[in-house]
Amino acid sequence: MRCISVYTKDFGVFSDVYEQILALNLAEDEEAEVDGITVSDAGKVDEGYIENMRQKPEVAVLRVKKHDATILQHGDVFEILLPSPAGSEEAETSEETETA
């Protein structure tokens, strides 16, 4: 899963920029600013990350079916978790196989 970090604790502000963030094509570890809010592609996380975070009482979990996204809110950050693009995991697997 791809993780995009959005540095704000204000849900209203996050909601206002959510669609713009999804439209960005950030590279891994790339940072951008959307309406004064810092956004960065935090790379890939495994499926277990959501379950681990879900167990913490200070973490709010939201599901957006329209985008097949999970949003975690904790502290001063929202994390948008999106499925990895089709074929990207296969490419990683074949790279690992070739170098092994």
pLDDT tens digit sequence for 62-95? 999 998 999 999 999 999 999 986 555 443 433 3
Report the range of poorest mean pLDDT among 28-32, 47-51, 75-79, 85-89: 85-89
From the CB of residue 8, how many other CB atoms can be counted at a distance below 10 Å?
A: 19
Q: Report how far residue 22's alpha carbon sits from residue 7's, in angstroms, rounded to the nearest whole number.
A: 15
Beta strands in the chain (DSSP E): 2-7, 31-34, 37-44, 60-64, 69-74, 77-82
Q: How many other β-carbons are positioned within 10 Å of the β-carbon of residue 82?
A: 16
Decide: pTM greater than 0.75. yes
